[in-house]
Amino acid sequence: MAKVAVVIPARYASERLPGKTLLRETGKALVQHTYERAALASRIDEVVVATDDQRVIDAVERFGGRAVMTSAEHRSGTDRIAEAARSLDADIIVNVQGDEPEIDPRAIDLVADLLD
């Protein structure tokens, strides 16, 4: 079976709402909710947050997650994911946006199944 990783692009400098990924209105950062939901998917071997900001890496590491630093020059989350994916040992990369705290883990499994 193919190895599957979820990569969550999480840029701190969101144009519409800077710092959105670290907002804690529910007691947890938005990126933590998204990370935890992604980790519930049964097909996932690894979840990684790809960011260009040390504050996001620090927040992810505080809750026990994994984050990688990517270039601040990326124009899109897809570019950020591509950079992070090059360092992963995975056959399939699933993009889960950082502002999807209620994503159904079964949807992630379905995507992985379709790509396998």
The pLDDT tens digits for 15-47 are 788 888 998 888 899 999 999 999 999 999 999
Residue 112 and residue 116: Cα distance in Å, rounded?
6
Stretch 73-80: mean pLDDT, rounded? 91
Q: Which amino acid is at 57?
A: I
Residue written as token pair 């899109």: 76
Q: Which amino acid is at 31?
A: V
Stated length of the chain: 116
pLDDT confidence of residue 23: 87
